[in-house]
Amino acid sequence: MSAIRQTFNDPSSTTMPLLDRAKQLAASLLSERSQASGALVARQLREMLGALDDNDRRCFQRYLATEFHPHGPALRAAAQRYLAEGTAEAAAALARAAEPPRQELLRRINMAPGGISALIAIRSEIASYMRTDPELKLLDADLKHLFASWFNRGFIELRRIDWQTPAAVLEKLIAYEAVHEIKGWDDLRRRLAPDRRCFGFFHPALPGEPLIFVEVALVEGLATAVQPLLSQDDGEAIAQQRAARADTAIFYSISNCQDGLRGVAFGNFLIKQVVEELQSEFPQLKRFSTLSTVPGFRQWLANRLANASDPDAALLSQLESDSWWNDPAQSEKLRVPLLRLCASYLTRKPSIRIDPVARFHLGNGARLERINWLGNTALRAIQESFGIMVNYLYDHNTIETNHEAFVRDGTIVRSPDVDALLHITD
């Protein structure tokens, strides 16, 4: 009797705890050689996982992490062979022996309809308790390794998202927007107007689920504040005229949608391909820039100013004042020192932990172009960065050299304006 029939046709299996049945299915799936029956077991295992409660699901995840290690004697023999021979064939044999059977099990789970969604959900869930259960890091690493292959650029598709896109996808934009909250359908309609563009990456196995999306404003000149970009719609005709006059594309929001795919690179490909799409549609565009948040600045500055000997320590009491950004006189006193300090924060060597948004854009070859005072006065932006926003400029002629300089020795390419901020005196 096959493993499938034993599990599902044996009356005793109906009294077996769900967790034990899931483990039995996983073992059967890994040993099953028939592609057709393997797909059946994969589907049944996926359905079983959906029926587990939170505790049993966590136990099953630990089972995946701890019970499917490489075969020790085979790995040892392959390692000894490679040390003795040093040949390409011996290296390939060592790589095969070192791969944990868990990876093959995950590949087979992926055969089931909805299998990839289940695996993404597993990785999303274990992120919250890997620190207290470090053995789960093995499962996390295997999932990340497989996702890097399954979601590489050759398998994902760029799509423009507009008002004709199915409502189910548009609803997900509202839910997944991570930078500037979309406040309902009217707000979303404005972001999809003729002088705006939205693009997302999609995968064939997740047709209605964006992996990442970017929102773009077509404007004249370098936008330095986000509120005008998020303003209410003033008519399609006017928006079309703005698009026709635009000379600059501003990437003002990039949102990753699948937490289980963290660490899988999408954003760099997305920006570069969107630039190509926009250049094709709007040949008059001369400049491509972000208008980005600085999420780590406030925490960094608070830690620095907590040292009473710091020459800027006196700023701390002023920054704790309620609504200082709404008081022109008070905010003007803070403008110069905060811009200087933000420039210092953003130009530190990457060997020191730098701002994650800065690392992303600088690593993609952008130039640190401009630091903007009170570019976003929403409360969240004040709490993160005192409302400061940054333009990272993507210049086609220098992207590759900027990227290489950043990766090679941490060089942060910046404009003369940013250099000037580093040397101003208050």
Which residues are identified as catalytic?
292, 361
Q: What are phi and psi of 152, to 5 degrees?
A: -75, 170
Question: In the 8-state DSSP scheme, what is residue 111?
Answer: T
Handedness of CA 130, 133, 134, 136 (dihedral sign): negative
Q: What are phi and psi of 52, to 5 degrees?
A: -70, 145
Give every CB contact of residue 353 below 8 A, 6+ residues apart in sequence. none
Q: How far is CA 64 from CA 58, 60, 123, 139, 147, in A?
A: 10, 6, 12, 7, 17
Cα–Cα distance for residue pair 382/374, rounded to 1 Å: 8
For 243-277, letters b (16+ CB in 10 Å) and e give beebebbbbbbbbbbbebbeebbbbebbbeebbee
Beta strands 287-290 and 248-256, pairing class: parallel
Helix (H) or strand (E) holding 309: none
Beta strands 389-393 and 367-372, pairing class: antiparallel
Q: What are phi and psi of 142, to 5 degrees?
A: -65, -40
Q: Determine contact, residues 216/278, Cβ cutoff 8 Å.
A: yes
Q: How far is CA 418 from CA 156, 336, 367, in A?
A: 37, 12, 10
Handedness of CA 19, 23, 24, 25 (dihedral sign): positive
Is residue 40 helix, strand or coil?
Answer: helix
Q: Determine contact, residues 29/4, Cβ cutoff 8 Å.
A: no
Cα–Cα distance for residue pair 147/119, rounded to 1 Å: 9
Give every CB contact of residue 329 below 8 A, 6+ residues apart in sequence. none
Q: Determine contact, residues 152/131, Cβ cutoff 8 Å.
A: no
Cα–Cα distance for residue pair 308/206, rounded to 1 Å: 53
